[in-house]
Structure 1
Amino acid sequence: MELSYWELKTWLDELDFCVVGSGITGLSCALELRRTHPQARILILEKGVFPQGASTKNAGFACFGSLTEILSDLNHHSEETVTALVSQRWKGIQLLRQRLGDKALEYKSWGGYEIFRETDTAVFDRCMHEMDRVNTLLEPVFGQSCFRPVPNKFGFGNTLPKLILNPLEGQLHTGKMMQALLHKVQGGPHPILILNGVALNEYTDLGERVAISTNHFDFQTRKLLLATNGFAGNLGVPEVKPARAQVLITEPIPGLSIQGTFHMDEGFYYFRNVGQRILLGGGRNLDPEGETTRTFGQTPLIQESLEGLLREVILPGIPFQIGHRWSGIMGVGPQKKPIVTKVSDNVACGVRLGGMGVAIGSHVGTELAGLAGA
C-alpha cells in the first residue's frame, strides 16, 4: 500500500505502543496504557472487520468455572494454582463491570447452573462429596460458599432431579460489551487509534524500536504488545493452540422460562437464554483434533449434537427453529494459566485465555500493559 504523508504522520509516526488484537485483552491493554501513559501514541492493529477470534463471538458468560470443571482442574493442577486461576477470573469479571458498568454490559446476575444427565449419577455424587472441600478452598476468593444443590425446576429432559447452582455467575451482552470497550478506547482527549483489516505478518526487535511488517505497510514502534490469543501460534508463541467453539441460537420461543447460564459435561457444553432465545455452544470434545483449527465454520457432527441436546434435554417437547450459527477461535494449551510474558526486550504477549476471555481478558490486558514498562 502506498501511504501518504498524512497517513504516515497521523497513524504510524513516532508510535510508543502498538497492540495487536482488538478483543477484550487488547482493548483492556490499551486502556491501561492510556491510564499509565496519558500522552503516549498508541495504535491497535486488528486483522478483522470485527475483533477476529472470540471476543465478539463468545456466549456472554461471566463465569469462572463450573464445579466439574474445577474438580477436573484439581486433577491436573495444585490447589494453589486452581485457587489463583479462579481468583484471576473473578477479579477480571469485577474489573470489567467496574470499567464499563452493568448497564452498558446488560449484565444479569441470574446465577449459573450445572446440569447432569440421568447417566451422570456417579459424577453428581462426586460433586456432592467434594462440594464442601471446593467451597472451603474458594471461600477466600469470594468471601462465601459458591456452590450448592438446588431442585431442577426448568423442565429439562433426561436429567437428574437436582442441579448445582453458582449464584455468583452472571451473563452479559457480548456485542454491547465490545461496543462499550471500543467507545472507551476511542474517547477522551487522546483517543487510541484502531486500524481494522491490518494483519501483523512479522516483527523484529531492533533494540530501541520494533520493526513491524503487516499485510499493507511497514512501520516501527517503541513497544509491541501481542493480544491475539488463539492466533498467537502464528506469531511465535508455541504454547498456544487454537480451539474452535461452535455456537447456535434459536429463534424466539414464546413463553420460554429458562433464565440464567448453564453448563454440562465439565463445561464442554454451555447454554443460556438471550431474551426468549436459547444460545447453545460446545461439543469440541467430540472432535478435538478437528476443532484444533484457526478456520471458522461448522461441522455436521457438532451441529447435530447441539440440536440433539436442544430436543432431548433443554427444550423437550417444545418446537424451536435455529436462527443463526457461528464459531469463534479460542486459545488453549496444556496449562489453564494464561501466558503473560515478555517475548523480547520490547515485545510482550498476553494470550492463552482458555475459553475464559470474558472473565480474564480485562485482567490479562492490564498485566500485559504492565510489561510494556518493565
Structure 2
Amino acid sequence: MNFSYWEIKNWFTAVDFTIVGSGIVGLHCALTLREKYPNSKILVLEKGILPQGASTKNAGFACFGSASEILDDLKNHSEEEVVQLIQKRWDGLQLLRKNLGDSAIDFKPFGGYELFLKEDESSYNECLQKLPFINEILKPIFKNDVFNKEVDRFDFKEIHEYLIFNPFEAQIDTGKMMHSLLQKAIANNIMILNHIEVAAFHENNIGVLISFDDFSFISKKLLFATNGFAQKLTNNQVKPARAQVLITEPIPNLDIKGTFHLDKGYYYFRNIDDRILFGGGRNLDFSGETTTEFGQTELIQNHLEKLLKEVILPDTDFKIAHRWSGIMGMGSSKNPIVEQLSDNVFCGVRLGGMGVAIGSLIGKELADLVQ
C-alpha cells in the first residue's frame, strides 16, 4: 500500500477500536462504542464499495418470522428459544426505528401476508390449525394476536383461499436506511474505509496487529461484524447463504401493497416504487447457494419468474428490470453468535437472514462485550 505519513498518522495510528464490516451490525456497534467511549478512535473497514454482504442487498422486510417459519423453528428449537428470538427481532426493529427515525428508513406499516400454494396442503392446514397456539406464545411480546386469516384480495392464483395476515410487519427502504446510518456514523467521527479486506490478525501484548495487502497496523480491540463472511477469519460455525433477488419494471395500477411470504420464508416479495421485488429460492439448491460468491443461477431465476407469472402477477404483463444477490449468515441454530474470541477480539455474526430485524441489537450487544 502506498500510504503517506499523513494517512498513516491520521487513520492507522493510536486506533482504539477496529470494526470489520460496515453493515447494520458494524455501524451500530461503532455508534454504541462512540456513546461509551466518546474520545476513542474508531475505524471501520469494509471490503466492498458499499456494505458487502446483505445490508444494502436485502428486500427491506421489517419482519420477525411468518407463521410457517415460526412453526418450522419450533421443530428445531425449544418454545422458549423461539419466543426469545422473536423478542430479539422485535426489540431490534424498535431500536432501528429509534436510532434512525421512521422517515429516514421509509418505514411503512402495511402489514405482512403469508400465502400457500395449492400443492402445499399440509403446511397450510397446519398453520391455520396452530394459529391460536402461535398467538398465545407471542402474546407476552405483542399483547395482541399477531396472526389472523384473511381472504385473498390481491387476485393471486394457484394458492389456498386464506392468507395469514400480520399487522405488526412493515417494509423499509434498505438503501435509505444504510445511507442514514452511514451519515450518522460519519457525523459521530467514525472513520470508514472501503475496499479494504482484512487478510489476517495477530494478538500481541499491546493489542491486535491487523493486516491487509502488504500493510499492518495496531488496534487495541478488533470486532468482526462480517456475518456471512465470518468463517474465514473467526472460525465460527457460520455458513454463507446466497439470496437471489429480482425486481420488475414499474407496473401501472399495481394493487399489491405489503410484505409477502411463501414456503416457510424461502420466498418473499413486496411492492416498491410501483414494482414487485421478489427473492428467494435458496431451498432449490442449498449446496449451490452455500457460497460467498455473488451471482444468479438459471434454476432459481427461472423459478422466481415462473412464480411471478403464475401466482403473483398472473394477469399482468411485466418485465424484469434488474437482478442481484446478497450473502447471509446461517448455521445449525438461528441464535446469533455474539462472543469474545480472545482478550481483544470479538464477533457478532450469524444473523440467520434477519439482519434488518436484529442487526442493530446485535451491533449494540457486540459493543457491550468490550470492557
**Superposition TM-score tier, normalisation by shorter sequence:** over 0.9
Query: 1:206 Cα deviation (Å)?
Result: 1.1
For 1:225, the equivalent position in structure 2 comes to: 223
Measured in 2, the distance between the counterparts of 1:11 and 1:57 equals 28
CA 1:155 to 1:70, structure 2 compared with 1: closer, same or farther past 3 Å?
same
Give the structure 2 partner of residue 212 of structure 1: 210
**Quick check: 1:351 aligned with 2:316?**
no
271-280 vs 208-217, greater mean Cα deviation = 208-217
Matches within 5 A, 1:51-90: 51-90=51-90
Q: Which residue of 2 aligns with 1:92?
A: 92
Q: Deviations over 1:5-64 (max 9, x none)?
A: 111111011011000000000000000000111110000000000100100100000000
* Structure 2: segments with no counterpart, 5+ residues: none
Of 358, 361, 368, the match for 1:360: 358
Q: Which residue of 1 aligns with 2:305?
A: 307
How far apart, CA to CA, are the structure 2 residues paired with 1:136 and 1:35? 38
Match of 1:162 in 2: 162
* Corresponding residue SS for 1:259: coil
SS in 1 for 2:31: helix
C-alpha displacement at 1:160, in angstroms?
1.0
Q: In the alignment, what sits opposite 1:197?
A: 195
Q: Aligned residue for 1:152? A: 152
- Check the 8 A contact 1:286/1:302 in 2, yes or no: yes
Q: Aligned partners of 1:67 and 1:198: how far apart in 2?
A: 40
SS of corresponding position for 1:164:
strand
Query: Match of 2:29?
Result: 29
Quote the residue 2:274 is aligned against. Answer: 276
Query: Which one-letter code corresponds to 1:202 in the other structure?
Result: A
Given that 1:207 and 1:346 are in contact with CA atoms closer than 8 Å, whether structure 2 keeps it comes out as no
Report deviation, 1:129: 1.4
* 1:117 equivalent in structure 2: 117
DSSP-derived class of the 2:123 partner: helix
Paired positions, count: 371
Per-residue deviation, 1:121: 2.6
Using the size of structure 2 for normalisation, the TM-score is: 0.99
Q: Give, in whole Å, the separation in 2 of the partners of 1:229 and 1:238.
A: 10
- Could you tell me how far apart the structure 2 residues matched to 1:212 and 1:144 are? 49
Poorly superposed stretches of 4+, deviation over 2 Å: none
Partner of 1:224, secondary structure, is strand
Q: Distance in 2 between matches of 1:63 and 1:23?
A: 18
Matches within 5 A, 1:222-261: 222-261=220-259
What is the RMSD of the two structures over their aligned residues, measured on CA atoms?
0.8
Letter in 1 for 2:70: I
In structure 2, relative to structure 1, the CA distance for the partners of 1:209 and 1:240 (3 Å cut) is same
Cα distance in 1 between the residues matched to 2:74 and 2:206: 43
Q: 8 Å contact 1:268–1:282 — kept in the other structure?
A: yes
Partner of 1:177: 177
Conservation of the 8 A alpha-carbon contact between 1:107 and 1:170: yes
Distance 1:73 1:121 in 2: 19
Aligned residues of 1:209 and 1:222 also touching (Cα < 8 A):
yes
| Native 8 Å contact 1:203 1:213 kept in 2 | yes
Per-residue deviation, residues 95-147 of structure 1 (Å, max 9, x unmatched): 00000000000110000000011122321211111111111111111122100
Residue of structure 2 in register with 1:49 after alignment: 49
> Per the alignment, in what secondary structure is the counterpart of residue 97 of structure 1?
helix
Cα deviation 1:194-213 (Å, max 9, x = unaligned): 01001110111114300100
Q: Provide the secondary structure at the position in 2 that maps to 1:94.
A: helix
- Measured after TM superposition, the shift of residue 2 of structure 1 is 2.8
**Separation in 1, partners of 2:123, 2:228:** 31
Cα offset, 1:216, TM superposition: 5.1
Percent identity over paired residues: 57
Q: Return 5+ residue gaps in structure 1 as ranges.
A: none
Q: TM-score, normalised by structure 1?
A: 0.98
Partners in 2 of 1:152 and 1:208 — Cα distance? Answer: 62
Q: Please state whether the residue corresponding to 2:199 is helix, strand or coil.
A: strand
Aligned match of 1:329: 327
Q: Deviations over 1:158-185 (max 9, x none)?
A: 1111100010000000000000000000
